[in-house]
């Protein structure tokens, strides 16, 4: 099964603070990647 290195991404919150995806978990995480905002 393919593994994802959850904390290796340079993600930031709306204030620009770094966020680790494993801080966002319940049992499962659904990630929705947007195309653009319009």
**Closest approach of Cβ 26 to other proteins, in Å?**
4
Give the distance from CA 29 to its chain's centroid: 9
Among 29, 32, 33, 27, CA closest to 4:
29
Binding mask 1-38 for other proteins (x = CB under 8 A): xxxxxx-xxxxxxxxx--x-xx-xxxxxxxxxxxxxxx
**Closest approach of Cβ 18 to other proteins, in Å?**
10
Helix (H, G, I), strand (E, B) or coil at 24: helix
**Closest approach of Cβ 15 to other proteins, in Å?**
7
The count of other CB atoms within 10 Å of the CB of residue 19 is 14
Rule CB under 8 A: which residues touch other proteins?
1-6, 8-16, 19, 21-22, 24-38
């Amino acid at each position: 099964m393919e593994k994802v290195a959850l904390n290796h991404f340079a993600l930031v919150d709306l204030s620009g603070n770094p966020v680790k995806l494993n801080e966002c978990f319940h049992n499962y995480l659904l990630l929705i990647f947007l195309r653009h905002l319009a």
